Amino acid sequence: MKPMKISEAVVRRLPVYLQVLNDLNMRDVQTVSSQELGNRLDLNPAQIRKDLAYFGDFGRKGIGYDVTYLIEKIRQILKLDQPLNVGLVGAGNLGRALCNYNTYLKDNMKITAVFDVHPSMVGASINGLTVLPMEKLKETIAERNIRIGIITVPATEAQNVADKFSEAGVDGILNFAPTILRVPEHVRIHYANFTTELMSLAYYLDEEGDKENDETVVD
Amino acid sequence: MKPMKISEAVVRRLPVYLQVLNDLNMRDVQTVSSQELGNRLDLNPAQIRKDLAYFGDFGRKGIGYDVTYLIEKIRQILKLDQPLNVGLVGAGNLGRALCNYNTYLKDNMKITAVFDVHPSMVGASINGLTVLPMEKLKETIAERNIRIGIITVPATEAQNVADKFSEAGVDGILNFAPTILRVPEHVRIHYANFTTELMSLAYYLDEEGDKENDETVVD
């Protein structure tokens, strides 16, 4: 399926390309140059050409990329042409917010089960999904062929949930709890950490120079 | 301040190192090797040594890194030793979840103002912050020296909010809405997109091989 080992940086850019391409497609744009993609994404067009060249010879000189063809190719590469079921533990604000993304997940990727560790949350309905108790995790993951687990519980509970997901047989975990987790070798874990996002953004702020002075009024 | 231009990949790893180091520090661990950091983060120790060498000669052969010293250095590099005020637009589930992270933002980085486009949300209290109307955005950002704006509104409203943030003078935007936004040259935008996170995780799933068959039961 995959022609070669692709760097994680490229894999992380592909969904972003897909997002822009879907947007162009919705507006009936038929071809797009690497220059235009670069402008929209604030990326070097040469970088984009290089990224996409990993997957074959998509572009045509002077014309650019065929939008629908490129969408189809990226979807294949990311395996979005196959159903992918996702389970989530933690029906708090963040978990609820993520379930609402199901609307955007037009592809086959979908949150198909929600769990919570607190009995008081069990039975609640979120975007059409009924919150299940943790005791149902293993059987539900098997029954619904859930391959990715999302963790949206507090940091202190996250390792326990990661263990349960791993035991239940998921292949990947997306962890939103602000803590590093240990998982077995065969489980791939990604971190979606709000604070690290903010911190890496903060790094860049001074590059433009402080416009005024640095006095800060704290609330 | 910054010794050289550091790649974005490195900047993105620094907060993750910081998170592990803070965790070690809380458990009174005084030194850590690149090997141990690598084990915890599933990263190549050589990569970690290379990343940290950008910022000076921290490590000592055979002993490792001094945890508190490294924390201090990374905090300086990321400018977490200075106050950084953050504003957020979109007081829905996701916005509320992010405000709750203020507890984790032990550093000087803090969400100090929350806004919403819907009058019905104005006046609500989230984690001690009162939701303000959009008309207050510009003056509040100036008064509280807010330098980063977070967007947690639906995709259709996100460009409008990005424009308002840019006009109000923020230097950076962290966008959670699943859409690409246009901002002026001097504003740095980062995307925290749940669907792209899921997609890049999905890419890796088949590497371990499908354990069973590919039949999927959809809810």
Q: Which residues of A are annotated as a binding site?
A: 90-95
- Indicate the residue among B58, B78, B98 that finishes a domain: B78
| pLDDT score for A7 | 78
Q: Domain holding A51: CATH number?
A: 1.10.10.10
Q: Does A92 touch chain B (CB under 8 A)?
A: yes
A111 touches chain B (CB under 8 A): no
Q: Tens digits of per-residue pLDDT, B19-67?
A: 889 889 988 999 999 988 888 877 788 888 888 887 777 667 777 889 9
Question: Are A25 and A66 members of one domain?
Answer: yes
* Contacts across the A-B interface (CB distance below 8 Å): 237
Q: B201 contacts in A (CB within 8 Å)? A: 148, 172, 174, 188, 190
The pLDDT of residue A214 is: 36
Q: Has residue B215 been placed in a domain?
A: no
Q: Of the candidates B153, B137, B115, B19, which has an alpha carbon nearest to the alpha carbon of residue B75?
A: B19
What does the pLDDT look like over B64-95, one tens digit per residue?
889 999 999 898 888 888 888 999 999 999 99
Q: Residues A91-133: pLDDT tens digits?
A: 999 999 888 877 666 668 889 999 999 999 999 999 889 999 9
Residue A103: predicted pLDDT:
65
CA dihedral A73, A29, B152, B200 (to 10 degrees): 10
- Looking at residue A4, its pLDDT comes to 59
Q: Is B211 on the interface with A (CB under 8 A)?
A: yes
Q: How confident is the model at residue B180 (pLDDT cuts 50, 70, 90)?
A: confident
Dig out the tokens for B105 from the structure. 């933002």
Domain co-membership, A70 together with A127: no
Q: Which of residues 30-59 of A touch B (CB under 8 A)?
A: 40-42
Spatial contact of A205 and B79, defined as CB atoms under 8 Å apart: yes
What phi and psi, each to the nearest 5 degrees, are found at residue A72?
-60, -45
Distance CA A214, CA B4 (A): 22
Q: Do B69 and B108 sit in the same domain of this protein? A: no
My answer on whether A57 and A90 are in the same domain is no
Residue ranges of chain A whose pLDDT lies below 70:
1-4, 58-59, 103-107, 206-219
Name the residue in chain A with its Cα closest to that of B141: A217
Contacts of A4 in chain B (CB under 8 A): none
Task: Give mean pLDDT, residues B142-162.
Answer: 95
pTM: 0.79
Q: Is the dihedral of CA A169, A175, A176, A182 positive or negative?
A: positive
- Total domains present in chain B: 2
pLDDT at B207: 52
Domain of residue A107: give its range: 84-200
Pick from A143, A133, A146, A157: nearest CA to A87: A146
Residue B139 covered by a domain: yes
Same domain? For B195 and B88 the reply is yes
Looking at the fold, whether B145 and B185 belong to one and the same domain comes out as yes
